[in-house]
Amino acid sequence: MKKHRTRTSGSFLLRHLLLLTFLVITAYPLLWMVLAAFRLEGDAQMRPLALPTPWTWQNFAQVCRNGSFGDAYLNSLMLCSGSVLLSIALAAPAAFAFAQCRFRGRHALFMLFLLGMMIPVHVTLIPLNRLLGSGALNLKGSLWALVGPYVGFALPITMLILRGAFAALPRDLLDAGRIDGCSTWGIFRHIAMPIARPALATVVIFNFLTMWNEFAFALTLLGPGQTTIPLALSQFKGEHDVQITLVSAALSLVVVPLLIVYVFAQKHIIRGLTAGAVKE
């Protein structure tokens, strides 16, 4: 018995030591970034691993005084929020149909949608550049040029996650809704969508973070005067050097809402990713 307890204690300590090591390795870059945001540029260059001497807020003030950064923040917020809502509005009914409705060719059609996940997104840059240019849709240069690509590439993963959640709905619950007089649309709206909230939270968070950090499409399709957060961050980089403290201050401001989302939505992410994994 004593030997068994010793093995259990040793395994417990080893497991937590490994987890602590992983935590330090993961959290150190974030901590260094925050500390660098409170340093002078010369101090950060000469003593990169030391604590700030002196502590200063001037980097944050300079970032906030940069008008393009504030405009980029607002543009990214509106663009990502609208694109996420539009992708859910399009994907949710389709995912419910694939999960609960019976029609010829639904499996083949669903697999056709999933093929979008196998296409490298940057392969489409040149075709989209021509499609959205002045010779076709004439959307290039505005934020509207990013809505289509963002929504289009968000649809496959959104449909995959939501279909799994809708397929796991209890059949008795759906039958009870039909007995009470609900149409297929009523079941989708009043039963399926509320129960699938964890999966919805997952796709909202995943797609929002993906769009928030997207750089290549914004760089290619936006025109002068239109920027997003990744493009605004590149402005703090010079031709031959990088302003470490300014970049760290800007990144600290950008990361704050993302950390808040992860802290408050962690349980929804886990529950949403496992929705539909087990059937009764």
What residues does each domain of the chain span?
67-234
Domain spanning 67-234, CATH architecture? Orthogonal Bundle (1.10)
Mean pLDDT, range 37-59, rounded to an integer: 84
Q: How far apart are alpha carbons 191 and 193 in whole angstroms?
A: 6
Q: How far apart are alpha carbons 271 and 104 in whole angstroms?
A: 31
Rounded to the nearest integer, the mean pLDDT of the chain is 84
Q: Is the pLDDT of residue 258 over 60?
A: yes
Band of the pLDDT at 240, cuts 50, 70, 90?
low
Residue 33, class by beta-carbon neighbours within 10 Å (0-12 exposed, 13-18 middle, 19+ buried)? Answer: middle
Q: What is the pLDDT of residue 153?
A: 92
Question: Of 163, 159, 132, 160, whose CA–CA distance to 146 is shortest?
Answer: 132
Whether 155 contacts 113, CB under 8 Å: yes
Residue 129, class by beta-carbon neighbours within 10 Å (0-12 exposed, 13-18 middle, 19+ buried)? Answer: middle
Q: What type of residue is 25?
A: I
Q: What is the pLDDT of residue 115?
A: 87
DSSP annotation of 117:
G
151-210 tens-digit pLDDT: 999 999 999 999 988 988 888 888 888 888 888 888 898 889 888 888 888 888 889 889
Q: Is the pLDDT of residue 111 over 60?
A: yes
Instruction: Please report which residue ranges of the chain form alpha helices under DSSP H.
Output: 2-37, 41-46, 58-65, 67-100, 106-114, 125-131, 144-167, 171-179, 184-187, 193-195, 197-212, 216-221, 229-234, 244-273
Band of the pLDDT at 114, cuts 50, 70, 90?
confident
2-32 tens-digit pLDDT: 555 565 677 778 888 898 898 888 888 888 8
Q: Is the pLDDT of residue 73 over 80?
A: yes
The tokens of 222 are what? 């936006």
Whether 166 contacts 275, CB under 8 Å: no
Band of the pLDDT at 93, cuts 50, 70, 90?
very high
Band of the pLDDT at 274, cuts 50, 70, 90?
low
Q: Is the pLDDT of residue 239 over 70?
A: no
